[in-house]
Structure 1
Amino acid sequence: MKRMKPPFAAKRFVDEYFPHCQAAILAGSVVRGEATTTSDLDIVIFDKHVQSPYHESHIDYGWPIEVFVHTLTSYKTFFLADAERARPSLPKMVAEGIVLVDAGILSSIKNEACELLNNGPVPWSAETILTKRYMLTDMLADLIGSKNGAEALFIANTLAEAIHEFVLRTNCQWIGSSKWIVKALKQYDEVFAKRFTDAFDLFYKTGDKHGIILLVDEVLKPHGGRLFEGYSIGK
């Protein structure tokens, strides 16, 4: 089937499957102008008739469609959970989304989402920073000492996610996962994001660990550097 334009396809989908909903939003890459040939439509539904929130997938109107269905209150629990994990998936969809249906409830919900995003995640405690320093130090030691190329690849993968988390959380920024790791870093500091991607790109292509080592030492330095000697927890 030939694809309809995203807003029209999304509106048709909502009209067919959720004709009595109180609100619907189209979000995701098609809204941000970042759609690819494999992009889907992310649709958030607010419906007082559903008993509990759920997520399901469809293929309709030429599009893969991910629909996130909420009651008029369940979204608050998801907002809170996203804030606690510092990955604001639902608030971001609600804040940036295009309104498809609105029975007069979306203004306040969008305001809640925007306020949460603007406030940023809860800052890490000193104890958490200490633990994360130790974990980064330990992962870096594993990478430096690894002589097994296959193992080193997966150590580097874990280290990349940990570096991104440490940089963003110690600066009270939202984090990401998968492709959102680089997007989140770019939103915070494009120069650092390029050094980050260059360091890992070089390692994956050549096995050169030097750029990653420098990167870890750079992000740890403001917090006391690498940590092993004297670290203790639960004693």
Structure 2
Amino acid sequence: MIDPTLSTPAEVLAAARAIVASRYPDAVFALVAGSLMRGEGTAHSDLDLIVLHDRVEASRRESFVAGGVPVEAFVHDDETLAWAIDVAATRGRPSLLALIAEATAIGRAPQRAARLKEAVAGILAKGPPPMPPAQLDALRYAITDAVQDLRGARGEAEPLAIGVLLYPLLAELALRGRGQWNATGKWVPRALARIDGALAGRFDHAFRALFASGTADAVIALAERELAPHGGMRFDGDVQVASPAWRAPAGRFGA
């Protein structure tokens, strides 16, 4: 649980400076972000850090507790951070980008931090690239497969398990299909509500019915509605070709 004395962003920033000074003394700068810095933290929030060095052998994520404060630190240099930003933008996943854009910089190179924040804010404002056709087809296929499983689900447990699988798939289609950044976990209902309150309501109603009583009709209708602008359900004629490199020595399994 978070240190209860960290009740203001200024106190969070002071704690971050102490952590960076003791754990990352050679850092060029660090970015401090997350719900605690926004003043929205709870007793279960952690402190988010992006730490930039001149050079690291490999980027890494570190989770630790310092002075009673749970910390999640993403440690990079210029090249590894540039790669991570490119991957996040290409995949339409904005969590790292949002952390950078909203963060407060500490350390010895504030101008470098400011340039980074400005560049990433521009990427966020521009929005994600269109979903590649192959990725969209794979997503449609996965949703179709889950919906068919839901139609044939038996007992009380199977619809719940399928619903857990289907929710993030449908959320990705709903968001990326509207040209928005993707979201996961607690950020999904927030992202849906931000772009379309009625859409968020349909998601909430459909999955509440499924998880509360196992009633799948609204989820199936939601899936059909979201798939329709992209060609509907996808099964007949779908082909996904593996990489030619996906081979192992023959004969080990009796074939």
TM score, norm. by length of structure 2: 0.83
Q: Aligned partners of 2:66, 2:168: CA distance in 1, in Å?
A: 35
| Alignment match, 2:29 | 23
| Alignment match, 2:247 | none
Q: Aligned partners of 2:80, 2:141: CA distance in 1, in Å?
A: 37
| Alignment match, 1:81 | 87
Partner SS state of residue 29, structure 1:
coil
Q: Please report how far the alpha carbon of residue 233 of structure 1 lies from its aligned counterpart in structure 2 after TM superposition.
A: 4.7
| Cα distance, 1:149–1:45 mapped onto 2, change above 3 Å | same
Q: How does 1:75-114 map to 2 (within 5 A)?
A: 75-103=81-109, 104-114=111-121
Q: How does 1:1-40 map to 2 (within 5 A)?
A: 3-4=5-6, 5-40=11-46
Taking only the aligned residue pairs, the percentage that are identical comes to: 32
Q: Please report how far the alpha carbon of residue 88 of structure 1 lies from its aligned counterpart in structure 2 after TM superposition.
A: 2.3
| Cα distance, 1:126–1:66 mapped onto 2, change above 3 Å | closer
| Cα distance, 1:74–1:134 mapped onto 2, change above 3 Å | closer
| Alignment match, 1:121 | 128
Q: Aligned partners of 1:232, 1:72: CA distance in 2, in Å?
A: 39
User: Would the aligned equivalents of 2:93 and 2:181 in 1 still touch at CA under 8 Å?
Assistant: yes
| Alignment match, 1:66 | 72
Residue identity opposite 1:71 in structure 2: D
Segment drifting more, 38-47 vs 110-119: 110-119
Partner SS state of residue 54, structure 2:
coil
Q: Please report how far the alpha carbon of residue 105 of structure 1 lies from its aligned counterpart in structure 2 after TM superposition.
A: 0.8
Residue identity opposite 2:83 in structure 1: T
| Alignment match, 2:193 | 186
Question: Unaligned 5+ residue runs, structure 1?
Answer: none
Q: Aligned partners of 2:65, 2:132: CA distance in 1, in Å?
A: 44
Residue identity opposite 2:87 in structure 1: A
Question: Unaligned 5+ residue runs, structure 2?
Answer: 242-255
Q: Aligned partners of 1:168, 1:76: CA distance in 2, in Å?
A: 25
Q: Aligned partners of 1:233, 1:8: CA distance in 2, in Å?
A: 52
| Alignment match, 1:151 | 158
TM score, norm. by length of structure 1: 0.89
Residue identity opposite 2:226 in structure 1: V
Q: Please report how far the alpha carbon of residue 109 of structure 1 lies from its aligned counterpart in structure 2 after TM superposition.
A: 0.8
User: Would the aligned equivalents of 1:3 and 1:63 in 2 still touch at CA under 8 Å?
Assistant: no
Q: Please report how far the alpha carbon of residue 50 of structure 1 lies from its aligned counterpart in structure 2 after TM superposition.
A: 3.8
| Alignment match, 1:136 | 143
Partner SS state of residue 45, structure 1:
strand
Q: Aligned partners of 1:68, 1:74: CA distance in 2, in Å?
A: 11
Q: Aligned partners of 2:4, 2:174: CA distance in 1, in Å?
A: 43
Q: Aligned partners of 1:180, 1:3: CA distance in 2, in Å?
A: 27
Q: Aligned partners of 1:58, 1:128: CA distance in 2, in Å?
A: 36
Q: Please report how far the alpha carbon of residue 12 of structure 1 lies from its aligned counterpart in structure 2 after TM superposition.
A: 1.5
